[in-house]
Amino acid sequence: MKAKRRTGLVFFPAFDWAISETHPEREERLLYTQDQVFEEGILDIEGLVEFNPVVATVKDVERVHFCVPEVEAVLTESHYIAAGGCKAIADAVLGGTTECGFALVRPPGHHAMRVVHGSRGFCNINIEAVMLEYMRWTYGVDRVAIVDTDCHHGDGTQDIYWHDPDTLVISLHQDGRTLYPGSGFPTEMGGPNALGTTVNIPLPPGTSEQGFLYVLNRVVLPILEEFEPELIINSAGQDNHYSDPITNMNFSAQGYAKLTEQLRPHIAVLEGGYSIEGALPYVNVGIILALAGVDYSWVREPDYDPEQIRQDSQVDSLISGTCGKVLELRQECALRREKYLGGSEFVQRNKSVFYDTDGFLEDQREVVRVCRECAGLMRIDSRAETGYRILGIRVPRKGCPTCQRLGRQWFESGSVKAFDKVYLQDCVTDEYQVKSA
Amino acid sequence: MIVGLDVGGTHTDVVVLSGKEIVRKVKILTAQDDLLCTVCNGLSEALRGLVPRSIQRLVVSTTLATNAIVQGQTEPVGVLVASGPGINPYAFEIGQHYYAVGGAIDHRGREIVPISDQEVLDIATRLRSENVRNLALVSKFSVRNPAHEIKMRDLLVDDFDHQTMGHQVSGQLNFGRRIATAYLNSAVAPISQPFYRAVQDCMEQEGLDIPLEILKADGGTMEQVRSFQYAVETILSGPAASVMGALAFADSNKEEVVLDIGGTTTDIAILVNGAPLLKPLGIRTGGYNTLVRGLRTVSIGVGGDSWVRLEDTSLKVGPERRGQALAYGGPEPTPTDALITLGATEGGDKQRAIQGIRQLAEQMGKGVEETAEAVLSETCSLILEAVNALVDRVNKTPVYTIYELLEDRSVVPTGMIVIGGPAKEFAPRLQALTGWEAHVPPSYEVANAIGAAVARTTCEVTVLADTDRRFVCAPEEDYLDSIDSGATKKEVIRLALDLLRMKALKMGASADDLEMELLEDHEYSMVQGFHRVGRNIRVRAQIKPGLVGLYRKEPA
Ligand SMILES: [Zn+2]
Ligand SMILES: [Zn+2]
């Protein structure tokens, strides 16, 4: 058996790590997936190469997050390794060893936002973002698309790339009115300097293969074509599966494989998916085979019955309406951008973030500079119920001299009396500083 | 006294050991078209004049099964596979009589789709009409539940000669390899069965009344009786014989490399704590990946007879062999000629050797001796490159727990054991290049036969307990029992070690050679809703490859 595309695989089930013994994010999560992957002999397929994860560094994390009070305090070894698994795949793909790759790692990351006070939606750090910024610094990658096909809105990824016009973030997910985290509506399209590079396509409960592939072809692929990314990353959550215990969708292993085949991501990263016996073994095998270009037509769940999970016509029309709206809203981006440029220099957004795993709230005031030259300087004033208040300042990767100069000034004048910590991410120079009293 | 016999590609070596002393060494030419004759002649020459009763053990290692597979001279095998969902079962097609049948078992061992009797019987009718006498019966996840393989066997047992069921060949997960291994077993059993019976007859004629033991690819032995059922385990025992021979001289506290430098190839293996490293899943032979336990060896096309020439301006050694060394009448210069030129070794026609090296020297614009040295250092470099690549691969073996990933278990060799024809001449050069201490054991030229003689019986068992579904099984041993919902890992480990001990004794092990080792012992909580419903416990244990009592060196 031979792969049509050389495919890298990091398979790291972290059999010795759990949030708690009975938590969905526990040792057993990838046990049956490992059984299926081993029994199928996937690692014997010629052109499929397995890598061990590397361990991500503190700097890899600092490039992306403001961790409170510091990186070491909010991460366990498992998080460094999950992000490191993504890095190992990035090295394989960008180093030319393989054409594409799949980081089958846990715990997931797409709910982790720029500021990290703790764990949200089982995520502490955003492993895709840590990988992407590593790739930008190590391999000079610029324009990248992240397509999030987890059932939950990838709100962390959206938050991190909200102001970045070089990162297209497309999320397909179950309608936020019916599922955690409750966000991801079509009107959420990015900040003033990056309008249109955030795309949200909420789907009604009961969406099946038909609906997902429809959205892919009507909205996702055309937008990708227009954006022309150098790389496509797929946040390949598997909780859209009809057997998933915490969601309400009707997707299948065949559907996931077809979606992967049509999307052709360079790098796929496992996100959620908690039907550990009935879905994950089959979905993961389907995704791996589809990535590698190996026949996946025999991959199906033992209880798969396409008639049982067919979506009804009401779902059809809801999805088609949403797609129409998404495309329509995109037309308005240019005009809105003009308005911002004619308006005030700084734009503020206020946010409340709930950390469901640890059970506390965070309040944020985020200010971004509307800039013609770059993605715009940004500052976040964040206060959490844990008692911490921090100020984070970020000069974007291709920041202009004005934004960079101003960012340094903000950092210097940031008061260590008012804030427990003041952070500076200068992504122009790849320097990360923190000060405190 | 114990006897070891190793059939090689060119020579067959026999040694008789009394205690740690070699009483007799015999080297004869191998007749590839009549291995039986080779083995019997070797034995009778080695045993001549010895009292048959004084021989307590006899182990042979042959190329019989490997040759049959590589040359495609095996018996036809009907392969029936019940795959269920996953990779297209026709991707694993093997042999001329391959059938995918209905029937599915899932990863927990639950039946999803039953076997259809009629479908199986119809295929059997067809196989009989095509004169197929042997079968391989394999289902996906049969190591979790062998019911479908057993069902097929029960339907077909009366109408065929050999049936290999997939769960008997290994307890490891890997459907494709299970199919290939079961197929190969049924393909070589009809050849090896009469062969080893004939060897046993020949032993009887020599007056020996002991069971014949056969060397396996993992460097362990098994009694001939068992080999009927497990014929496939005898493939690729050649490299294992040499490694086990080297092991007799290994430093058990060190990580060492074994180099067997032959005429055409050099075989490389790694010893850690006095035991050779095994392949993670199984060996590859004749283009097939298998589940046959085997030593983690690599073979490269560099040896004493490798073809030496200039390509552009750089010196190339191997991988091709054009014949013997010039000094022995061959057509092209070789590393052996370089050794002879330098006076490092005697033999053959020295002038022819020098002449060949001189020609190279003139083309390179260098001196004759300098060129001979260059040939040798290129040869050593190629060998060491392969050694480093192997060590690197071993150190990059995938792991699946945080503990293993963060724990640095890298193999860092600090010594080497060099055997094979030119071992003595190469060892100091290899030592100079690496700084690793290089040993050349005494009688290094018959290390392979010594290895066969002193290797102990090895085997492996895999046990799975599912306290939610209340069963414990060891599929290879045909063991299935119910288990208490509160069973612990400790109990499962104890069971695995009991099964292992019984298996080893049945295979011919002596009770004081049972060095058991856990290869895997994992335990997972199985949760439904937010409650633990049971434990999934997986234990794999082996008798480590090693040496029989007297030859074992205890770690210092
Ligand atoms: Zn999710
Ligand atoms: Zn700017």
- Check B522 against A15: CB less than 8 A apart: yes
For residue A78, give the nearest of B402, B524, B530 by CB distance: B402
* pLDDT in the model for residue B335: 96
Q: Cβ of B209 under 8 Å from any chain A Cβ?
A: no
Q: What single-letter DSSP state applies at residue A305?
A: -
CA separation for the pair B76, B95 (Å, rounded): 7
Size of interface A-B (CB pairs under 8 A): 117
Domain with CATH 3.40.1360 in chain B: 77-187
Is B352 in CB contact (< 8 Å) with chain A?
no
- DSSP assignment of A246-304 equals T---BB-HHHHHHHHHHH--SEEEE-----TTTTHHHHHHHHHHHHHT---TT---TT-
Residues A412-433: what's their mean pLDDT?
96
Residue with tokens 């309008």: A195
Contact yes or no for A425/A404 (Cβ under 8 A):
no
> Of these residues, A65, A79, A111, A163, which one is catalytic?
A111
Query: Using a CB-CB distance cutoff of 8 angstroms, which residues of chain A are in contact with residue B92?
Result: 1, 41
| Per-residue 3-state assignment (H helix, E strand, C coil) for B434-472 | HCCEEECCCCHHHHHHHHHHHECECCEEEEEEECCCCEE
Phi, then psi, of B133 in degrees rounded to 5: -110, -10
pLDDT of residue B227: 63
Q: How many CB atoms lie within 10 A of CB B263?
A: 20
Q: Is the CB of B71 inside 8 Å of chain A's CB atoms?
A: no
Q: Does A3 touch chain B (CB under 8 A)?
A: no
- CA A194 to ligand 2 center in whole angstroms: 12
Nearest to B503 by CA among B538, B463, B536: B463
DSSP B76: P
Tokens 């006076």, residue located: B343
Cβ distance of B398 and A39 shorter than 8 Å: no
Every domain of chain B with CATH number 3.30.420.40 lies at 249-441
A46 touching B (Cβ < 8 Å): no
Given a contact cutoff of 8 angstroms between Cβ atoms, the answer to whether B167 and B105 are in contact is: no
Domain B249-441 has CATH 3.30.420.40: yes
Ligand 1 centroid–CA B498 distance in Å is 45
**Ligand number, closest to the Cα atom of A172:** 1
Closest ligand relative to A111 C-alpha: 1
pLDDT in tens, A329-354: 999 999 999 999 999 999 999 999 99
Of B176, B525, B526, the CB nearest to A41: B176
Q: Which of B281, B210, B220, B228 is nearest to B57 (CA)?
A: B210
DSSP B220-261: -EEEHHHHTTTGGGGTTHHHHHHHHHHHTT--TTSEEEEEEE
- Which residue among B88, B92, B524 places its CB closest to the CB of A28? B524
DSSP string, A218-255: IIIHHHHHHH--SEEEEEE--TTBTT-TT---BB-HHH
Partner A contacted by B536 (CB < 8 A) = yes
Nearest CA among B542, B543, B534 for reference residue B465: B534
| Ligand found nearest the CA of A345 | 2
- Supply the pLDDT for residue A414: 94
B527 with A26: Cβ contact below 8 A: yes
As a whole number of angstroms, the distance between CA A258 and CA B269 comes to: 44
Whole-angstrom distance, CA of residue B308 vs CA of residue A130: 51
Nearest to A21 among B86, B106, B525 (CB): B525
Count Cβ neighbours within 10 Å for each residue of B354-376 and write b for 16 or more, e otherwise.
Answer: bbbbbbbbeeeeeebeebbbbbb
* Chain B partners within 8 Å of A82 (Cβ): none
Contact A32 B108 (CB under 8 A): yes
Query: Which B-chain residues 301-330 have CB contacts (< 8 A) with chain A?
Result: none
Q: Are strands B212-215 and B57-61 parallel, antiparallel or unpaired?
A: parallel
B173 → closest Cβ in A39, A277, A295: A39
Chain A contact for B486 (CB, 8 A cutoff): no
Strands (E), B327-452: 415-419, 437-439
- CA–CA gap between residue A190 and residue A196 (Å, rounded): 6
Give the residue carrying structure tokens 């795959």. Answer: B83
Contact B443, B25 (CB under 8 A): yes
Which among B279, B399, B400 is the top mutation candidate for probing chain A, defined by the most A β-carbons within 10 Å of its own β-carbon?
B400
pLDDT at B555: 44
Q: Which residues of B touch A304 (CB under 8 A)?
A: 85
Residues in chain B within 8 Å Cβ distance of A285 = 86-87
Spatial contact of A113 and A183, defined as CB atoms under 8 Å apart = no
What's residue B556's pLDDT? Answer: 39
Smallest Cβ–Cβ distance between A15 and the set B112, B400, B526 belongs to B400
In this prediction, residue B478 carries a pLDDT of: 87
For residue A281, list chain B residues with Cβ-Cβ distance below 8 A: 107
Shortest Cα distance, chain B CAs vs residue A13, angstroms = 6
**Angle CA(A331)–CA(A337)–CA(A341) in degrees, nearest 5?**
160
CATH of A2-330, one of 3.40.800.20, 2.120.10.30, 1.25.40.10, 3.40.50.300: 3.40.800.20
Backbone angles phi, psi at A382, to 5 degrees: -125, 130
Q: What is the mean pLDDT of chain A?
A: 96
Confidence (pLDDT) at A121: 84
Q: Cα separation of A91 and A84, whole Å? A: 10
What backbone phi and psi angles, to 5 degrees, belong to B108? -95, 0
Yes or no, beta carbons of A302 and B84 under 8 Å apart: yes
Which of A285, A240, A290, A239 has the alpha carbon at shortest distance from A260?
Answer: A290
ipTM of the complex: 0.92
Is residue A409 packed enough to be buried (19+ CB in 10 Å), middle (13-18) or exposed (0-12)?
exposed
Strand order in the sheet with B516-528: B479-482, B471-474, B460-466, B531-543, B516-528
- Reported as type and span, the H/E element at residue B208 is none
Model pLDDT for residues A229-240, shown as the tens digit of each residue:
999 999 999 999
pTM of the entire predicted model? 0.93
CB of B552 closer than 8 Å to CB of B520: no
Model confidence over A2-44: pLDDT tens digits? 999 999 999 999 888 888 888 888 889 999 999 999 999 999 9
- Cα A409 versus chain centre, distance: 31
Bond prior to A401 in cis (omega within 30° of 0):
no
Q: Which among A35, A229, A416 has a CA at the least distance from the CA of B107?
A: A35
Q: Chain A: nearest CA to B522, how far in angstroms?
A: 9
Helix (H) or strand (E) holding B197: helix B175-205
pLDDT confidence of residue B228: 65
Q: Which residues of A touch B288 (CB under 8 A)?
A: none
> pLDDT tens, B112-155?
999 999 999 999 999 999 999 999 999 999 999 999 999 999 99
Say whether A1 and B106 touch across the interface (CB within 8 A).
no
Confirm or reject contact between B20 and chain A (CB < 8 A).
no
- Domain spans of chain A, in order of start: 2-330, 345-436
Residue B312's contacts (CB-CB under 8 Å, 6 or more residues apart) are: none
pLDDT in tens, A250-277: 999 999 999 999 999 999 999 999 999 9
Residue type, B343: G
Classify residue A217 by its DSSP letter. Answer: I
Q: CB A28 to CB B176 under 8 A? A: no
Per the CB < 8 Å rule, is A28 touching B527?
Answer: yes
**What span, in angstroms and rounded, lies between the C-alpha atoms of B301 and B317?**
9
Task: Check CB contact under 8 Å for B83 and A298.
Answer: yes
Distance A196 CA to ligand 2 centre (A): 19
3-state secondary structure of A210: helix
Which of chain A's residues have a Cβ under 8 Å away from the Cβ of B173?
35, 38-39
The per-residue pLDDT for range A276-330, each reduced to its tens digit, is 999 999 999 999 999 999 999 999 999 999 999 999 999 999 999 999 999 999 9
Beta bridge partners of B298: B268
Q: Which of B101, B105, B402 to mutate to test the interface with A (most CBs of A within 10 A)?
A: B402
Contact A294/B87, CB-based, under 8 Å?
Answer: yes
**Within a 10 A sphere around the Cβ of A199, how many other Cβ atoms?**
28
Nearest to A271 by CA among A37, A52, A103: A103
Q: Is B239 exposed, middle or buried (0-12, 13-18, 19+ CB in 10 A)?
A: buried
Phi then psi dihedrals of residue A76, to 5 deg: -110, 175
Instruction: Test A14 with B402 for CB contact under 8 angstroms.
Output: yes
Note the pLDDT of residue B553.
61
CB within 8 Å of chain B, chain A residues 294-323: 294-295, 297-302, 304
Parts of chain B with a pLDDT under 70: 225-228, 552-556
Cα B422–Cα B425–Cα B429 angle in degrees, nearest 5: 125
What CATH code would you report for B77-187? 3.40.1360
Instruction: Specify the DSSP class assigned to residue B90.
Output: G
Confidence of residue A158 (pLDDT cuts 50, 70, 90): very high
Structure tokens at B507: 């295979």
Q: How far is CA A31 from CA A15, B178, B180, B531, in A?
A: 8, 21, 25, 17
Active site residue A111: yes
Residue B52 has φ and ψ, to the nearest 5°, of -55, -40
